Chain A
Amino acid sequence: MTALFKRCLGMVLVLLGVMVLIFIALRIIPGDPAAVLLNEHVNEATIARLTATMNLDRPLPEQFLSYLGGALKGDLGQSYYMRQSVLSLILTAFPYTLKLTILAAAFAWLIGIATGVISAMHHDHLPDYLFRGLSMFGVSVPVFMVALLLQYIFYFRLSLLPLVYDGSALSMILPAIALGWNSAGSVARLTRSSLMEQLDQPYLDTARAKGLLSSQAVLIHGLRNAMLPIITMMALQLSGMLSGAVITESVFGISGLGRLALLAVQTRDMPLLQGTVLFTAFVITLGNIIADLISFCLDPRVRTKK
């Protein structure tokens, strides 16, 4: 329990660090921040109003404390461009990103683990060479290229699936594959190497001596032991996926977090960008804690050590 508590405390410290870092990074712009924020063509009154609402005239530490206080209460400020509370914008966008990420992760893990297992079980034979090549291709193509390629094939050539996201489940297929493609490749590579490490473990001989077929022994006993690093990587991939989501969402026109952030950069909407980044960091931190909990529950060795 103390380990878990320490972990949570560490997470809080990390989140605090994230806040400080973003806060500083967004405010080292030379010149009057409000004027930069709003670009050139606005009048004095608007600048004054913005400066007042965002406390831009106060010293930095004070600004930070008031932002921190607001964030703790769930107030991430007002979006300048959209004229809405940042949190409500984020909460409207987040479900799309969540749906996209979950579907992409499901695709990546299903394909990745399946091909990785087949690769490991037939290592140095034809299926292995095939899937190794495929997974290398998987990790090496940029997300936007997969996205454009999928659009070209499934929309333009085959007219099977919609070009952009239109709210239907069908239109979510291409974005999910595009986003999951890279991860599928790395999951396959890790599954292969992690399972290969287990293949010469004596307990697989025991399992066979008990009467399990080699394939059953690998799937029941080997995979169970190979899963721990894979789960850890899944948590790390969450971050990569949210990165990829920015591109996927922009190609397929999904109004999720990534697009919100992109919009914030393009419209120079600092509160929105700040809020989005902070929220994403929070989600990733949460994902890390969940992955820790899962491996804590799965690994009996860690469980007794607590």
Chain B
Amino acid sequence: MNEDILLELNNLTVSLRQDKEMIPVVSGINMSISRRKIVGLVGESGCGKSMTAKSINHILPSIARVTDGRILWHEDNGSVTDLAALSEKDIRRRCGTDIAMVFQEPMSSLNPMMCIGNQIKEVLMIHKLERDPVKARQKVIQMLADVGIPEPELRYRSFPHELSGGMRQRIMIAMAMIGSPKLLIADEPTTALDVSIESQILRLIRKMCDTYSMSALIITHNMGVVSALCDYVYVMYLGTIMEQAPVGELFKNPLHPYTKGLLSSIPKIEGNPEFLSTIPGTIPMKRTTFKGCEFCLRCSDDIKKCFFEKAGLKKVNADHYVRCHVV
């Protein structure tokens, strides 16, 4: 890892309250996001990816809480702030200006009763980035044009239901970008969209990161998105990081059985159409504490040790780490 780090998750643990019990869904993960890099966080649905993302800008649902660990934000001047310890007031001051977010379902993530222009303008107003309403409107229209909305002046007064899914996600991106944040968190940004729109949106996110020299954390279950967009990848299973590596390295040399499974689940053009590789089993429902490896019940390579001992994170080479007994 290089020195130019923007955000660091340090032993982050997020727990859900269930029947007066706190059940960890993210258990002590370490991650770091470098400046101007796009980092992917991959895993099946329900493995704690979204919880990780939402803990960064404190928008966890009311039953979830960060129970341990730190979220370290490296300021431009070199000082470090723990976001997890900030009060709501202080974290909100950073939301929209330092950290912005794009959500999975653009329809329900936009307020159906408010025209999109005003929803974007709201960011400028909240943070007093632009006090003059006319100039603010100009900025919004410029941003709409930047994310590829045709006729931005007309669209300013449109309502979410009048737009297509792809357009809505562009609006969400415009809303995220208008405060020129340093970090963009995109939670499954293309899952709800048509495949044909997907690549356009991914290209747009890439372009925005380059123009604004911004970092991004992309949450996805889709290895295709990772290969198209990311510089570095974390593979997560049941709240634990299983493998982490630069994208090229991971695709060339996947080591963890789970990563291998995810990669072979991508349908291939030249492959046998009758056969699509899957990972057997599903994510266990009850999150009980289990002393063995989280993945052992679904693993094809498991050895006896896997059931009784958690694997440590092994360094494979410079930037490649894996958590597996077998490797």
Contact = CB atoms under 8 A, between A and B. Distances in A.
Direct contact of A and B (CB under 8 A): yes
Given A202-B103, A300-B161, A304-B162, A209 B113 contact: no
B111 interface: yes
Given A201-B108, A224-B111, A301-B159, A211 B88 contact: no
B59 A211 contact: no
B255 interface: no
Nearest to B108: A202
B123 interface: yes
A92 B83 CA distance: 66
A16 B108 CA distance: 43
B119 to A, nearest CB: 8
A208 B161 contact: no
A205 B97 contact: no
B126 A298 contact: no
Interface in B102-157: 103, 105, 108-115, 122-123, 126-127
B92 interface: yes
Contacts, number: 81
Nearest to B58: A208
A209 B111 CA distance: 13
B175 interface: yes
A206 to B, nearest CB: 5
Contacts of A300: 112-113, 115, 159, 161
Nearest to B115: A300
B95 interface: yes
Contacts of B88: 213-214
B96 interface: yes
A203 B108 CA distance: 6
A208 B105 contact: no
A209 B100 contact: yes
Size bracket of the B interface: 35 or more
B112 A304 contact: no
Contacts of A202: 103, 105, 108-109
A211 B97 contact: yes
Nearest to A206: B109
Given A211-B123, A212-B126, A213-B92, A301 B161 contact: yes
B114 A224 contact: yes
Contact of A304 (B100, B109, B127, B161): B161
Contacts of B59: 205, 208-209
B78 interface: no
Interface string B40-74: 00000000000000100111010000000000000
Interface of A: 200-203, 205-214, 221, 224-225, 298-301, 304
Interface of B: 54, 57-59, 61, 88-89, 92-97, 99-101, 103, 105, 108-115, 122-123, 126-127, 159, 161-162, 172, 175, 179
10 contacts: A206-B109, A206-B110, A207-B111, A208-B58, A209-B57, A209-B96, A209-B99, A212-B126, A213-B88, A304-B161
